[in-house]
Amino acid sequence: MSWGLLLNSLELAVPVALAAVVVGWFVALFIASSRGRVRWAALAGAIVSLALPPFLVVNAWLGLLGNVGVLKSWLPLDIYSHGGAAWVLTLMLWPLPCLMCLGPLKRLTAELLDAEPGLGGWLLARSLLLPMTLPAALQSGLIVFALAFNNIAVPAILQVKVFPVQFWVQFSTSYNFALAWQYGWVLAALPLGLLLLLRGRAVAWPWESQGIPAEVLRDRLGQALIGTVATVAWLFIGLSVLLPLGHLLFDARTWTDILDAV
């Protein structure tokens, strides 16, 4: 077993979990404080982002920042790195914390807000909303950590050396099942331990409660915080959904390959 590769996997999974929880919490707050088509559009964006295949997201960023990417000369960022893999995984996994934190936010009642009439803006978020969503944020962070740690597709495409990729390459070339049992338990132990840790813990699903009217929450959050969460929400929905789908639709190879396949 390569302890260096395990450390590489940890170094990749930890920042992904932290970033995904932060982004997901902001987007969840934006959805909870929105109404009508805006709420449904943001919610649909989160769900679609979670459903997109990894290669589609990676391919879009390779088209931008790869060796021959269109933005490579203006943005000399190395997408073939831990940072690049962490960025792509964050774009793929932030909807999980978003959906899990949205449930507790929708359990917010008018009585809780009336109990602290002087709280508003960032102070309201820090004193009331963050404690309400902290259990869901921690649970979702652990899930994201396990998914990022065990992810094979993104690090493999971006040529990032982590334990799951090396394990899969060795097994797929040799089909050594004894080796698979010897080293594969590491990949299985993390999600199994996560299941045991989260066993019996209640999850507040978004559809279980209607919550307070969005207008009431928006008034208490204030323009500064609303502007911040809206910017984060639309930015990451655009980067997570619109960019990969747009790259797919506007790439000439998509249509030529479809015609060849038909």
Q: Count the Cβ atoms, other than its own, within 10 Å of residue 132.
A: 16
The total number of structural domains in the chain stands at 1
Percent of the chain with pLDDT over 90: 45
Task: Please report which confidence band the pLDDT of residue 257 belongs to, taking 50, 70 and 90 as the band edges.
Answer: low
47 is in which domain, residue-wise? 3-261
Residues in the chain: 262
Q: Name the residue type at position 168.
A: W
Q: How far apart are CA 150 and CA 167, in angstroms?
A: 11
**Which CATH number fits the domain that encloses residue 74?**
1.10.3720.10
User: 152 with 85: CB under 8 angstroms?
Assistant: no
pLDDT reported for residue 137: 93
Task: Please report which confidence band the pLDDT of residue 241 belongs to, taking 50, 70 and 90 as the band edges.
Answer: very high
pLDDT reported for residue 1: 55
pLDDT reported for residue 185: 76
Q: How far apart are CA 53 and CA 45, in angstroms?
A: 14
pLDDT reported for residue 53: 93
In Å, what is the CA distance from 259 to each residue of 20, 122, 245? 38, 53, 19
Task: Please report which confidence band the pLDDT of residue 76 belongs to, taking 50, 70 and 90 as the band edges.
Answer: confident
User: Over 90: is that where the pLDDT of 107 sits?
Assistant: no
Helix (H) or strand (E) holding 93: helix 82-93
Kindly provide the residue ranges of all beta strands, DSSP E only, lying in 20-178, ordered along the sequence. none
Chain CA centroid to CA 252, Å: 29
pTM, full prediction = 0.88
11-45 pLDDT, tens digit per residue, is: 999 999 999 999 999 999 999 999 889 999 999 99
pLDDT reported for residue 101: 93
What mean pLDDT is predicted for residues 198-216?
Answer: 70
Task: Please report which confidence band the pLDDT of residue 83 belongs to, taking 50, 70 and 90 as the band edges.
Answer: very high
132-185 pLDDT, tens digit per residue, is: 899 999 999 999 999 999 999 999 999 998 888 887 777 777 777 777 777 777
Q: How far apart are CA 181 and CA 166, in angstroms?
A: 15
Burial (0-12, 13-18, 19+ Cβ within 10 Å), 173 = exposed
Q: How far apart are CA 88 and CA 16, in angstroms?
A: 9
Indicate the average pLDDT of the chain.
86
pLDDT reported for residue 3: 73
pLDDT reported for residue 108: 83
